Amino acid sequence: MPYDNGARLDMVDGLRGYALLGLFLVHMNELFELYWAVLPPQNVFHDWVFGIFAGKAYAIFAFCFGFSVFVMMDGAARRGVDFTGRLAWRLLILFVIGWLHGLIYRGDIITVLSVLGLVMLAINRIRSVRWLWVAAGFFFLQPWNLFRIACALAGQGWANAAPNFSNDPAMAVYLNGDLIQTLAANVWTGQVMKWWFMFESGRMSQIMGLFVVGLIFGRIGFFDAEDRFRTARRVAIAAVLAATLAFRELREPLTA
């Protein structure tokens, strides 16, 4: 389904703006990486911000990223141009910008999005929407974590050990170091811990799944023909609300 690259999609812009605001509020609430070291008081503001935005803002942002890949690639294809090389170059520039920002705040997610975006160059060549759904499902199933669980049940020591990101040598620098020491730590040590977290927590696989879903929504024209998907949206909203309530009630029994 073609989109007019010259026109802005208000709904997508709104989602992207909501996601950026949410990321900013969550990161402020997390004291920009210091949260896990000092655990500030859990006040009402904290609970509301985490309840509304945590785990959701980045997911929406990743979805919009995948949708944007479709818009750029599809627009170029309709002009008879292969946009793969230019998009790869843009992702490289995006990585450099994210890395520079990561020197100050290692939690910057732009570097992760840019690297995973390179995988989308290959996935975009899958023409079947059905196979794209299969790819998204594969990523959402968390294959690495399922493999680790299987190894843990089999008694493999490495699988039962604490995750690598739990041992964070950069945190001492953030708590007690000066600006120069923080910049030096974030050149390598801080970034390694971020990538370990993204990989071991399953965020990386989840982001890839959201990328693919964004690509699918572009392919099927979800934002271009809203009336076609009115029933599907209502069913999805009802299912999400039901799942939210169910998991809220089951959270304590499942984590006990």
C-alpha–C-alpha distance, residues 178 and 175, integer Å: 9
Lowest-pLDDT choice from 2-6, 28-32, 135-139: 2-6
* 6 has pLDDT over 50: no
* 178 has pLDDT over 70: yes
Mean pLDDT of 227-250: 86
The pLDDT value recorded for residue 2 is 53
Closest residue by Cα to residue 23 from 51, 50, 57, 48: 57
H helix intervals, the chain:
10-29, 35-38, 44-53, 57-78, 84-102, 110-123, 129-140, 143-153, 157-160, 170-176, 179-187, 189-200, 203-219, 230-255
- pLDDT tens per residue across span 72-101: 999 999 999 999 999 999 999 999 999 999
* 59 has pLDDT over 50: yes
The pLDDT value recorded for residue 86 is 95
* 18 has pLDDT over 80: yes
Residue type, position 232, single letter: A
In order of 24, 75, 233, the CA distances from 101 in angstroms are: 14, 30, 37
Is the pTM value of this prediction over 0.85?
yes
Q: How many CB atoms are closer than 10 A to CB 16? A: 18
The pLDDT value recorded for residue 4 is 54
* 200 has pLDDT over 90: yes
Mean pLDDT of 204-232: 91
Q: Are 121 and 87 in contact (CB under 8 A)?
A: yes
Residue 183 exposure: Cα atoms within 13 Å on the Cβ side: 5
* 187 has pLDDT over 80: yes
* 40 has pLDDT over 90: no
* 215 has pLDDT over 90: yes
C-alpha–C-alpha distance, residues 1 and 28, integer Å: 39
